[in-house]
Amino acid sequence: MEKIISVKHPVTKELITIQMKEIANLKLLDRYRLMLSGLIIANNVYEDFQWMINVDLSIKVMNKQNVYSILTNKLNRLNDIKQV
């Protein structure tokens, strides 16, 4: 499933388009190695298996985790809970 979101930049008035793809299989996640340089405030799963990661970028913390490792750890914990 794919969502395309378009908004105008408030200052330059340029059109900003973001393409979001629903990731249903972890095999697709290995290309998302985005590093989070701030402090991870929350890492939550919402309805319909959607993730939201809140990061405070004003706090300069050298994180050694990337988005891929955070999501795989969270998914592994969810699978462990389902098995219990």
Cα 83 to the center of its chain, rounded Å: 25
- The pLDDT value recorded for residue 28 is 45
Residues 1-41: pLDDT tens digits? 566 778 888 888 888 887 665 554 444 444 555 555 555 55
Can you give the pTM of this predicted structure?
Answer: 0.35
Whose tokens are 């697709």? That residue is: 28
CB 26 within 8 A of CB 75: yes
Residues 25-84: pLDDT tens digits? 444 444 555 555 555 556 566 666 566 666 665 666 666 666 677 777 777 877 776 665
CB 49 within 8 A of CB 22: no
Whose tokens are 């990337």? That residue is: 66
Closest to 21 (Cα-Cα) out of 44, 45, 4? 4
The token pair at 74 is: 């969270």
